Amino acid sequence: MPAFAALRQFPSSDPTSEAIVAVTPRKTRLISDSDAAIGSPLRKSPRFCKEGTPHSSPTANIRKCLKTSLNLSGSPQKKQLSEDFVERQNWNPRDETQRRAVNEALHVSTAQTNVVCRENEQNRILDFCKKCIKEEKAGSLYVCGCPGTGKTLSMEKVKAMLADWANEECIQYPDVLPINCTSLANMNDIFSKILEQNHSGKRRSHSTSSLQQLQNLYSQQTPGMKMILVIADELDYLITRDRAVLHDLFMLTTLPFSKCILLGVANAIDLADRFIPKLRSLNGKHMVITFCAYSKDQIINILQERLRALPYTVFQPQALELCARKVAAASGDMRKALAVCRNAIEILIGDSMLSSLDGTEDQQKSAENVSMSNQVRIDHVAAALSKVYKSPVVDTIISLPQHQQIILCSVVKLFRGGKKKDTTLGELNKYYVDVCKSTSIPPVGILELSSMCRVLDDQGILKLGQSRDDKLRRVTLKVDGADIVFALQGVRFFRNCLQ
Amino acid sequence: MGVENPAEVAKFIIRSRIADPLFVYSYFSQLPDSNYSKLKYIISSSVTEACNNSVLLLGPRGCGKTAVLELVLEDLLKEHPDMISVVKLNGLLHSDNNCALKEIARQVCMEHQLQFSKMASFDENSKFLLSILRECGLAHKTIVFVLEEFDLFTEGKQRLLYSLLDAMQSVSSQAVVVGVSCRLDADQLLEKRVRSRFSHRKLLFLSSPGEDFQRLAEHILLLPMDSRLPNDFRASFNEKLLNILAGEEFKGVVDQLCYSDSTVSHLLRFLFCAVCHMDLSSGSLSIQNFKSALPSIQRQPKQEALKDCSVLQLYLLVCMKRLEVKEVELCNFNSIMKEYKSIPDSFQTCDNFARNVCLRAFEHLLQRGLVSFQDNRGQGQSTEFRPVKLLISWHELQQGLQSFPSCPVLLHKLMAREG
């Protein structure tokens, strides 16, 4: 539980700070501060600890403690203390170093020392590897999950943990070969890479392929051969029509004297079952570890973990929660959550720059505003989410030139009723001329109509087919008709036309 | 040499400005919340803060995506010399993975004066790319990858996109990937792995004419301080121009221009045309120049062809139209002649030409492109028997008749009767 974790990390802080909570104008901000800040002073007093139960949420805890502490408040020193405390937590978006630190904390490429929410899966992989190394047996493991669920990250962590364990137990650490299958020019290169890693000293014979050499190697007892751990990322790039490469790769681990531990990583859940049916009969059920998409709580956890190292608060908790809910509902992809957070920070910075450009506030108000508006709020996160998830179709249709909008309007009218899904340019021309006649806009000729349709095809709104005769080219709609109706409803003419 | 006509100098200055995209789009760099400033912020933040980024520029063709990108890169190169290196790829040329890697290696080698070998294999090129990224990351130099026609890179297995965007995920590299595309759904074309690694920043280039265009026109057309131009000439030119640009007639012209195409390149062509029409003796632009530029931008080739027709040819066209309206199955020269002969029967007129004259006129129509054969069969048959079709619409024909200088009233009646 994050609240209790915070307790362990902050063993001592000044005892006077526990009285902070009583100040009313700061109350909303203090409740919304991250657990790192609030956790410690509240937990100092044993009475508060008894009040909190392991199952209640942190914010409910804080509110309960707040209510009890309000009854004991009374000291005039509190306001001053709270200001000191507040100043520590205030982050200034205009400060270069702070901004850089926040961006770095939220960047996808920043390596994390402790990877939260994937301990279970990592332990399973680690146990499997330990077992294989101890028994000096080969094995294969398949790791699957949607993109952005922390597979590669966990692999790195497992490698590190394995190295530590091997050092502790004084067991020979196997050779590790991480391969990303997209970088292979030829699919059989994976075998030559494994061979190279295994026997960098020996000469390779050119008459037999690397696969055959490996198979020969693993069919005989060779004392003193080191184990090799192969981590194959993006395994589905190795899928061919006859599935030979994938099959052979997994079969390498089933040979009697094989020393190869294979960890395959891919997105498809049933890759092993679909493509390697024989293995199941030989091997029983080999291990498949699924990395599920992150849930809302997990995303909040991970984001808070990243922001924990910073001494100031950047996000309001409601903002983080909105971001986590939206991303978890859509895909559970952690990269998207980080991108949304970074976008929200940029929007906040943009707003604060604009407001500093206007800058005619008086001193007190500006101080108050600065402290209140420096955190990323729900509206920033909502704007960032809409930028990431909204499609640009509606905006583009609104800003199209008039004739192109008339063309789209006539297409929607043509396809209304749901029977027809495509039409020819000649038909479209007739409808278009009709729509133009109903207002007094002169219609353009068929040549210009065809070039405007080509422009719309380029943008991905229509799809224009090929034909010898211009009039017979087929036209289909690629965006939803409802989107077009929504985009054009601002203009009265189109509203009436599309009724 | 005598004193140059200041009007000529002015014309020269304005035309060279219009032809220079960097000057034109520098107008957009002055707006506070424009795409220029957003793009500049993204790239400069990754230069100064050493974080990786990816962004997609979307918009119809001719709306200035590449020009704004060039502007941003030029400004950033001036601000941070030696800290940015640019690699440009185009989806039309380099969509194949091997080709693209070779091109990246070649450009990087050229920039850093390294030896480039055409014989390098795919493996070597990809290792080179990774090591270059690592080196540049250590040296705090940002590589900007510009991928034009981004949607063409998404065909096939998307290996190049995957390897580039995957490199963005590691701490050791410092790079920005900028994709330029005219397809709005370019990011939907990405595979889910690649899409997850893309940072979903999209900058839409939406063109909104109107007051925007007026300010853009002022930016281009107002004469600057130049030693070759006398001051009073300059002042009077600018004043007259401002009056025109603020007037209602100009707005009407611009509205008409933007009915079919409102991208910036279309508007630039219009301005160029208008400036070419400038009357050198009067020494300034007038609203007449803009109005006469409009038809040369919005050309109607069929109308121009109709203007050159003779009255007999117009009769033949109208007869063909009537046949089409009556939904006659076979339309060839013989049936047209029949219709033509029937006109004097219903209307009293003496315009009656012999068959061979009509045939000659009909052949001219074929050559002009107003009428064509239905298909390529029957090459052996004579012109009189092969089926033909009209290549202009009813509306265009009517417009042509109305603008024809000496069109007989009978033709109008004929058109109106059945049309």
* Cα–Cα distance list, A481 to A393, B12, B187, B392 (Å): 11, 48, 21, 31
* Residue contact A103–B45, C-beta within 8 A: yes
ipTM summary value: 0.75
CB contact under 8 A, A459 and B184: yes
Note the pLDDT of residue B90. 93
| b/e code B244-267 from CB counts within 10 Å (16+ = b) | bbeeeebeebbeebbbbbbbbbbb
Cβ–Cβ below 8 Å for B260 and A404: yes
Q: In terms of pLDDT, which residue wins out, A62 or A258?
A: A258
Q: Which of A242, A265, A289 is nearest to A126 (CA)?
A: A289
Task: Quote the CA–CA distance of A237 and B163 in Å, as a whole number.
Answer: 13
**pLDDT score of A283:** 58
pLDDT > 50? residue A34: no
With bands split at pLDDT 50, 70 and 90, how would you rate the model's confidence at B103?
very high
Q: What is the mean pLDDT of residues B135-151?
A: 90
Q: Which residue has the higher pLDDT, B156 or A59?
A: B156
Sheet of strand A228-233, all strands in order from the earlier edge strand to the far edge: A175-180, A228-233, A260-266, A139-145, A287-291
Q: Residue A456 half-sphere exposure, CB side, CA atoms within 13 Å?
A: 32
- pLDDT tens-digit map of A389-430: 887 888 888 888 888 999 999 999 888 877 778 888 888 988
Half-sphere exposure of A167 (CA within 13 A, CB side): 6
Q: What is the pLDDT of residues B182-210, one digit of tens each?
A: 988 888 889 888 888 888 888 888 876 55
The CA distance from B6 to B229, in Å, is 6
Mean pLDDT of A430-455: 85
pLDDT digits (tens, 9 = 90+) for B264-277: 888 888 989 988 88
**Tens digits of residue pLDDT in B329-362:** 778 888 888 888 887 776 766 667 888 898 999 9
- A445 closest CB neighbour out of B41, B58, B302: B302
Give the whole-angstrom CA distance, residue B375 versus residue B361. Answer: 21
Q: pTM for the complete prediction?
A: 0.76
Q: Give me chain B's average pLDDT, please.
A: 84
| Per-residue pLDDT band at A284 (split at 50, 70, 90) | low
Token pair, residue A170, equals 């004084």
**Which residue intervals of A33-180 are DSSP H helices?**
35-44, 46-51, 58-72, 77-89, 96-105, 119-135, 151-169
Q: Which of residues 221-250 of A touch B (CB under 8 A)?
A: 234, 237
Amino acid identity for residue A232 in this structure: A
Residues of A in contact with B192 (CB under 8 A): 146-147, 267
Query: B171 and A110: CB-CB below 8 Å?
Result: yes
How big is the CA angle at B322 (ends B317 and B323), to the nearest 5 degrees? 95
pLDDT digits (tens, 9 = 90+) for B51-74: 888 999 998 888 888 988 999 999
pLDDT at A74 over 60: no
Tokens 């045309």 sit on residue: B273
**A182: distance to nearest CA of chain B, Å?**
6
CA-CA distance, B205 to A79, in Å (whole number)? 50
Is the pLDDT at A54 greater than 60? The verdict is no
pLDDT of residue A350: 79
B-facing residues of A in 169-228 (CB < 8 A) are 180, 182-183, 185, 189
What is the C-alpha separation between A405 and A393, in angstroms, rounded?
Answer: 13
Mark yes or no for CB contact A443/B157 under 8 Å.
no
Whether the pLDDT of residue B39 is over 50: the answer is yes
**Nearest 10 degrees: CA dihedral of A254, A258, A263, A269?**
-10
Give residue B56's pLDDT.
93
Q: How many CB pairs under 8 A join A and B?
A: 131
Q: Which residues pair with B201 in a beta bridge?
A: B55
Please list every residue in chain A whose beta carbon sits closer than 8 Å to the beta carbon of residue B166. 180, 182
Contacts of A100 in chain B (CB under 8 A): 49
Task: In whole angstroms, give the CA distance from residue A452 to residue A445.
Answer: 11
Of A147, A447, A458, which is closest to B193 when you measure between CB atoms? A147
Q: Average the pLDDT over B67-91 and give the result.
A: 90
User: What does the pLDDT look like over A99-119, one tens digit per residue?
Assistant: 888 888 888 877 777 778 888
Phi-psi region of A268 (alpha: psi -120 to 50; beta: other; left: phi over 0): beta
Q: What share of chain B is helix, strand, coil (3-state, %, to 5)?
A: 55, 10, 35
Give the pLDDT of residue A169: 84
Using the Cβ of A364 and the Cβ atoms of chain B, whether some distance falls under 8 Å is answered with: no
What is the model's pLDDT at position A77?
44
Contact A399 B208 (CB under 8 A): yes
pLDDT at B89 over 80: yes
- Indicate if the pLDDT at residue A19 is higher than 50: no
Quick one: pLDDT at residue B382?
A: 81
* pLDDT band with cut points at 50, 70 and 90 for residue A20: very low
Q: List the structure tokens of B357.
A: 């004259």
What is residue A33's predicted lDDT score, i.e. its pLDDT?
Answer: 38
Greater model confidence, A135 or A370: A135
Q: Which residues lie across from B204 on neighbouring strands?
A: B58
Give Rg (Cα) of chain B: 30
Chain B interface includes A459 (CB < 8 A)? yes
Q: Edge-to-edge strands of the sheet including B53-58?
A: B84-90, B142-148, B175-181, B53-58, B201-204
Placement of tokens 């803060």 in the chain: B49
- For the residues A77-82, what does the mean pLDDT come to? 43
Q: In what order do the strands lie in the sheet with A422-424?
A: A422-424, A474-477, A462-464
Pairing of strands A175-180, A228-233: parallel
Split at pLDDT 50, 70, 90, the class of A30 is very low
Read off the pLDDT of each residue in A70-79 and give the average, rounded to a whole number. 44
Average pLDDT for residues A279-294, to the nearest whole number?
72
Q: Taking residues A278-283, what's their average pLDDT?
A: 60
pLDDT band per the 50, 70, 90 thresholds, residue B258:
confident
Q: Which of A139-148, A319-328, B22-31, B92-101 has the lowest mean pLDDT?
A: B22-31
- A73 CB contacts (<8 Å, ≥6 apart)? A19, A22
Range B231-240 contact pairs with CB under 8 angstroms and sequence separation of 24 or more: B233/B6, B233/B10, B233/B283, B234/B10, B236/B284, B237/B10, B237/B283, B237/B284, B237/B285, B240/B284, B240/B285, B240/B286
Residue A446 structure tokens: 């068929």
Percent of chain A with pLDDT over 90: 2
Position A1 pLDDT exceeds 70: no
Relative to beta strand A228-233, strand A260-266 is: parallel
> How confident is the prediction for chain A on average, in pLDDT?
74
What pLDDT, on a 0 to 100 scale, did the predictor assign at position B144? Answer: 93
Tokens 């937590």 appear where?
Answer: A89
